[in-house]
Amino acid sequence: MEPQATPSIDVPAPRGPALHWSERPHAVALAGMLALAVAMGVGRFAFTPLLPMMLHDGVLTLTEGSWLATANYVGYLLGALACMALPWVAPGFYARWHPARLARAGLVATVLLTLAMALPVAAAWPALRFAAGAASAFVLLNVAAWCMVRLAVLGRPAMGGLIFCGPGVGIVLTGLAASAMVAAQWRAASGWVVFGVLSVLLCVGVWPVVRGRAVKADAGAQPRAVAQGGNAGTLAARGVHAVAYGLAGLGYIVTATFLPVIARAALPSGSPWPDLFWPMFGAGVAVGAALSTRAPSAWDRRWLLLAAYALQALGIVLGLVWPTPAGFALSSALVGLPFTAITFYGLQEARRLWPQSADSFASLVTAVYGLGQIAGPPLVAWLLAHADAGQGFARGLALAAGALVAGAAMYGWSAWRWPQRA
């Protein structure tokens, strides 16, 4: 039985009575942004600025921190796989628990799991981070599906990229908050509580908007699938996209997990800069996501992905060859700029390649991306066990940059092998 999937759609804006504020395009984009700020900025990446605080408190070691990060990424992988399978194995359940409901459930879980990390029960932390990873995948995939379809129904599909500013907004907020807490000598447990309360406040802007089905019965037009061009819909093209997209997971994850720790190891003791590089990364994420909305819809997303991978690889290399405050600042911005733009373009490409099963294929490529993330922290932990901190991180970053170069080459080959017709 063919699963119920949300197709890519292209419909005119509905006419008739003025829309309620919660149904307007800007409200939809803002709600999606705030939801991803919670799911990604807190559920996924709050651990990055809090890791130095947890190390300072003596509640874990760097190796244990690597495994906690891995638990979160394994949860993200399994959450993405569950989203992929749900329309196929439980179509009746999926019909009732549509993307808006699943996203709201994921947000509630993220808040509770973040607050629970403040409990002094270290044995439970891996399970909590695992569950938070699964919840973040549910929110990302379902909010993206709901908002992108809803914006298309409202005649504003280009605004879909704005929701991917959310991770950057969340990273900036948590990074600046963590920097202030470090300056005030707060303990990491207090940081988890602050981030949990911040998540509740952000969800206030999500709840009135993300509800019901994305395609309303009175939308005024029936959605239609976007036609595929050339041979881009072949099984081989889908496989290339999945693998190349997965390499981006490995490419960014070393920086996204260890940036403050790497900066502390490279810069003089007492430098005020290490806690600021993570918010700089987040600012780059938000700006890059906003810029991604300016790309014309006719442009082949594979060439945009190639450029984004190259920029991120350049940022990683810059941090290796120029380990100074200026070098780390520019590196953080360059790695952050294409981060969620890659997600936006990757999901767009997934929907173009397989519009009949758009939700499931988007979840599949996200799961492959999750595999790349999982490989990063254990790899760094192994390198650290066989070298000093400087050498271990340098080798991990070099491998990450290599993965991005390989992914860029795959997209270039795919665009050459299966050109997209207008």
- C-alpha 305/C-alpha 338 separation (Å) is 9
Q: Is residue 225 part of a domain?
A: no
Q: Which residue has the higher pLDDT, 197 or 93?
A: 197
Residues 363 and 252 in one domain: yes
What is the signed CA dihedral for 126, 127, 128, 129, rounded to 10 degrees?
50
Please enumerate in sequence order all residues whose Cβ is within 8 A of that of 140, keeping only pairs 6 or more positions apart, or say none.
36, 39, 40, 343, 366
Decide which of 185, 213, 241 is a domain's last residue: 213
Question: What's the token pair of residue 355?
Answer: 């519009």
Average confidence (pLDDT) over 246-255? 92
Residues 34 and 88 in one domain: yes
Residue 136, amino acid: S
- C-alpha 32/C-alpha 164 separation (Å) is 8
Residues 288 and 366 in one domain: yes
Decide which of 213, 242, 277 is a domain's last residue: 213
Q: Is residue 220 part of a domain?
A: no
The parent domain of residue 128 ranges over 23-213
Residues 205 and 237 in one domain: no
Q: Structurally, how many domains does the chain consist of?
A: 2
What is the per-residue pLDDT for 17? 58
pLDDT tens-place string over residues 127-138:
999 999 999 999
Indicate if the pLDDT at residue 220 is higher than 50. no
Residues 126 and 259 in one domain: no
Question: What's the token pair of residue 403?
Answer: 């993965």
- C-alpha 244/C-alpha 405 separation (Å) is 10
Going from the C-alpha of 112 to that of each of 99, 121, 342, 358, 367, the distances in angstroms are 20, 15, 29, 30, 24
Q: Is residue 293 part of a domain?
A: yes
Q: What's the mean per-residue pLDDT of the chain?
A: 87
Residues 37 and 142 in one domain: yes
Could you tell me the CATH number of the domain that includes residue 294?
A: 1.20.1250.20
Residues 240 and 383 in one domain: yes
Residues 187 and 274 in one domain: no
Q: Residue 286's closest CA among 174, 370, 157, 197?
A: 174
Going from the C-alpha of 11 to that of each of 114, 351, 368, the distances in angstroms are 39, 16, 31
Helix, strand, coil percent values for the chain (each to nearest 5): 75, 0, 25
- C-alpha 16/C-alpha 407 separation (Å) is 46
Q: Is residue 10 part of a domain?
A: no
The pTM of this model reads 0.83
Residues 349 and 300 in one domain: yes
What is the per-residue pLDDT for 422? 58
Q: Is residue 2 part of a domain?
A: no
Q: Is residue 254 part of a domain?
A: yes
Q: Is residue 92 part of a domain?
A: yes
Contact in structure between 316 and 264 (CB atoms under 8 Å): no
Residues 193 and 255 in one domain: no
Rg (CA), the chain: 20
Average confidence (pLDDT) over 157-176? 91
Residues 179 and 312 in one domain: no
Indicate if the pLDDT at residue 270 is higher than 90. no
Q: Is residue 315 part of a domain?
A: yes
Q: Which residue has the higher pLDDT, 386 or 135?
A: 135
Which phi-psi region, left, alpha or beta, contains residue 264 (left: φ > 0; alpha: ψ -120 to 50)? alpha
What is the per-residue pLDDT for 28? 95
Residues 209 and 237 in one domain: no
Average confidence (pLDDT) over 259-276? 87
Going through 159-220 in order, the beta strands assigned E by DSSP cover none
